[in-house]
Amino acid sequence: MNVAELLTRLATHYNAIIRNFAQKQSLTCSQALLLLNIPFDGTTMSNLAYKLGIDNSTLTRNINKLNLLRLVSKKRDKYDKRIINVVITSEGKDVLSKLEKPLNEFNLSILNHINIEDQNKTTELLEKLIWTMDCLRDR
C-alpha cells in the first residue's frame, strides 16, 4: 500500500472511532470534531473553518446547532465587530471531557501494541507529517 492509501485508511478508522464516541454523547461526528478543535481560549470562526477545511456557511450552521445545545457560545470581537469568536461553554467542556477520555484511552490501547522505540518514532513522524501538511495547506 502507498502512503496516500495508508493515510486515508488511518483517517477513516479514526473518524469512525470519533463518530462512535460522539454518538454516545448524542453528537454527530462533525459536532464532535468541532468541539475537539476549539482551543481552550476559543478561536475565530474563520480560523476554525480553515482548520477543518469547511466553508464559513457550513461552520456557521454547525456552530449554531452547538450553540442551541449550549455547548459553545459566540461573541463578537470587541475591536472588530465583523469577527466572531467561538468558545466552549462549561456544558461543552463537560461533553468534551466525555469525548476526550475514551479517545485518550483508545490511543493508549493502540500504543500498548507498539514497542516504546516505535512509539517514539511514530510520534516524531506524525509531528513531521502534521507540520508538512500545515505548510502545504498554507501555500
The parts of the chain modelled with pLDDT lower than 50 are: none
Please give the Cα distance from 71 to 108 (Å, whole number). 27
CB 110 within 8 A of CB 103: no
Please give the Cα distance from 107 to 83 (Å, whole number). 35
CB 100 within 8 A of CB 18: no
Q: How far is CA 5 from the centre of its chain?
A: 22
pLDDT score at 139: 65
Please give the Cα distance from 31 to 121 (Å, whole number). 32
Name the residue with cell 462512535.
Answer: 20
pLDDT score at 134: 87
